[in-house]
Amino acid sequence: MPGRGGPQGVFVGQFKANHLADRLESAAKARQATVARFRARPGADDPAVLARQSARRAIIQAREIRETERAMARLAAEAQREAEALAELERQEAELARQAAEKAERQAALAAEQKAARDARFAARKARARR
């Protein structure tokens, strides 16, 4: 495959002879650039660094306040749900008590009616027997 970079198509100008001295020089330049970047950084007492730190602290405090507010809102909502559930339970218990009282009244009224009917039959029987 000529011209495609295969074994037959290798051009001499394609490769750069990378000698040891060149590699050492580029490594030294990289180290110097890293040291220069490190030295160019502002110190811990620099006003810009202090301003960034105070801004970060403010952000962290605001985040903690929001988290606390969310937790308190969640607890308040949970307490509200529990109160509503308790009120519903009390309402159901009151309804059951009312229904039981109504049932007892109906049974008492039925028993009174049955007794009155029995007494009336008994009185009628006695009246018939006296004649």
Please tell me the predicted confidence (pLDDT) of residue 41: 80
* Distance separating alpha carbons of residues 46 and 113, to the nearest angstrom: 100
User: Nearest 5°: phi and psi at 68?
Assistant: -65, -45
Q: E strands within the chain? A: none
Please tell me the predicted confidence (pLDDT) of residue 43: 77
Residue 39: band (very low, low, confident or very high) from pLDDT cuts 50, 70, 90 = confident
Residue 27, pLDDT > 80, answer yes
Please, what is the end-to-end C-alpha distance for the chain in angstroms? Answer: 142
* Distance separating alpha carbons of residues 29 and 40, to the nearest angstrom: 16
Please tell me the predicted confidence (pLDDT) of residue 32: 95
Mean local confidence (pLDDT), 80-86? 97
Number of H helices, E strands in the chain: 2, 0
Tokens of 64: 């903690």
Mean local confidence (pLDDT), 5-33? 74
DSSP state of 53: H
Is the entire prediction scored with pTM above 0.85? Answer: no
Contact 9, 1 (CB under 8 A): yes
